[in-house]
Chain A
Amino acid sequence: MDRLRTYLGLSTVGDSAVDEKLTELKRRKILRRLWTGLVIVVGAVLFDQSLQTVGFSFRELITQFPFFLEALPQYFPPTTYFGLPFIDVMQYWQFMIEADLFGKSQVTMAIAFAGTVLGLPGALLFGILASERVVPYPFNFVFRLTMSMIRAIPALVWALIFIPLGGVSPFTGMLAIMVDTTGYLGRLFTDELEEIGDGPIEGIESTGAAKTQIISFGMLSQVFRQFIAWIAFDLEHNVRVAISLGLIGAGGLGLELDIQRKTFNYTEMMACIILIVLLAGSVELLSQRVRSYLRDEDEVEKTGVLEAFLSAPRKIVESAAGRR
């Protein structure tokens, strides 16, 4: 009994300072081990309950695995070209024509483009008024805050909010992108305006120009090309958002993907995914070329063709979540 008490550090052996410290350290060690044990037990209980909630069972995996293997050739229908086995690309192509997937990618593009154009005036207005050089502190913060609040809500959620306004339709998707553009592009404009030089502003001011002229000729003229570049960047972003909005019913390619998923048509699903990757990747490449042309002095990050397509799915999700 005494040995146990000693082991747990509850009673001291010897009475020197070193002995006392040793006992204290023992007590601390025991306490730490008790906590660790408790955390492990709680974690195990939570893990077990989680598995039960999601209905995890090895039997399910084992019985379903043949079905997954069966689905694989549907995702990637095999055929032979000149005796060599390969994916039957023509099946994808047939579905793309049949379901008018190219028409549907036009819907996606239309949602993105119309949303960008409609959001642009708001972005310009808020972006310029949020700049401290145009509207004096603290009044510019009214506009900054408004944009922050818009950006705090991702486009996906804006679309859900607007459903009573436009129904589950491309129109609602466009409204969501319009609001998203005002918050996001406006912020990019403001940031760009912070970096302009005083020189041209004074140059214009010295001619006796009016305040509005000083803003447009001295300030905005300095960032005009950068603004165009940011618009291209935002359009690229909005195409990705439009694809993901389709998944919740806003139409276009995303909607088609959702429909095919619900009807377990794996080949058709993959055809949609391929086209989505191609669309998002091409728009990104195009936007990058435009931007690097406009920003002749500054460097624009350039991704390779393959990288643009490979990273498209990840970027679609990021854009939809409003994570920038």
Chain B
Amino acid sequence: MSTLTIENLTKEYGDVTAVSDVSFEIEDEFVVLLGESGAGKSTLLRCINGLTDPTDGDVYLDGKPVSGSQPSIGMIFQQHNLVEGVSAYLNSLTGSLERTSFVDSLFQWNDRADKRKALEALQTVGLLDEAHQRVSQMSGGQQQRVGIARALVQDPSLVLADEPVASLDPSSAESVMGYLKKAARAHQVTALVSLHQVNIAAHFGERFIGLRDGWLLFDVEQDELTPDLIDDLYGDVETVGLTEQHAADPASERPEARVGR
């Protein structure tokens, strides 16, 4: 249960404005961030997470200003950003680093509760049996689920995901999104997920925020996401048009996600 408040957030890289004057507030929802590549989705997420410092504006989590990376905000990356040489379990366990001292973490003397939490998180994403496997030997979809587990171990109140399924095939993408939504529900966290597959977004999102050239284009509920809005966002793109039928009516004839419901 948490509230994320963005106030007039602006990020400039030299002459380029990646995010300009974006404000919104989300609370206990599964929110999808839409927009073309370069629209500022990643920059916005990185500013919220503290990996990048905004040029101007503020980020509040439950009323408190956010500065720097912290465990209450979990981050899931497009390229997983896991430590590939070690097991899924150890990767999941790195989510508890902030509350473990340096020496303890070095020797894996984490609290037993944290160790259990790491395995439970892997169980949530359906990887308990594979916990001992080295991440480099896992498929892209499995790796991303380990990424979700790591974020969950942080005990976050907000989970951010930066195009978590962009590099996955459609089936793995659907499964990963399913696990992500399930995890967000089970742990009662607010989620802000950037996606560029409109059909996946329409299927899983509860609220949609559209960015175009760094500006906030729309901020709508599920039933308000219309093909016209998508057209506005991407311009007249033929292949996006195809998926609009699903986007307009996500409930009809689309099979439920295989997992996570």
- A interface residues with partner B (beta carbon < 8 Å): 199-200, 202-210, 212-213, 216-218, 221-222, 224-225, 297
Contact = CB atoms under 8 A, between A and B. Distances in A.
Contacts of B75: 203, 206
Candidate in B71, B73, B81 with the most chain A CB atoms within 10 angstroms: B81
B69 A206 contact: yes
Contact of A209 (B77, B79, B85, B98): B98
Contact of B97 (A207, A222, A225, A297): A207
B154 A202 contact: no
A208 B70 contact: yes
What are the 10 closest A-B residue pairs judged by CB atoms, nearest first? A203-B81, A209-B97, A206-B75, A208-B98, A199-B81, A208-B71, A208-B70, A221-B83, A212-B102, A213-B97
B51 interface: yes
A204 B102 CA distance: 13
Nearest to A198: B81
Contacts of B150: 203, 207
A10 B95 CA distance: 90
B102 A210 contact: yes
Interface in B94-120: 94-98, 102, 105-106
Nearest to A224: B85
A208 B158 CA distance: 13
Interface of B: 49, 51, 68-75, 77, 79-86, 94-98, 102, 105-106, 136, 147, 150, 154
Contact of B84 (A212, A213, A217, A222): A222
Contacts of A209: 69, 94, 97-98
Given A222-B83, A222-B85, A202 B98 contact: no
Nearest to A210: B102
A222 to B, nearest CB: 7
Nearest to B160: A206
A207 B97 CA distance: 7
A207 B102 contact: no
B50 to A, nearest CB: 8
A59 B165 CA distance: 85
B83 A218 contact: yes
26 contacts: A199-B79, A200-B82, A200-B83, A200-B84, A202-B77, A203-B82, A206-B69, A206-B74, A206-B77, A206-B81, A207-B94, A207-B97, A207-B154, A208-B69, A208-B70, A208-B72, A208-B97, A209-B69, A210-B98, A213-B97, A216-B105, A217-B97, A221-B83, A221-B85, A221-B86, A222-B83
B80 A199 contact: yes
B86 to A, nearest CB: 6
A240 to B, nearest CB: 29
Contacts of B154: 207-208
A133 to B, nearest CB: 15
Given A205-B69, A210-B102, A217 B81 contact: no
A261 B98 CA distance: 63
Contacts of A224: 85
Contacts of B49: 206
Contacts of B86: 221
B85 A225 contact: yes
Contact of B51 (A200, A206, A213, A216): A206
A199 B91 CA distance: 13
A38 B74 CA distance: 80
A206 B66 CA distance: 13
B147 to A, nearest CB: 8
A204 B147 CA distance: 11
B95 A207 contact: yes
Contacts of B69: 205-209
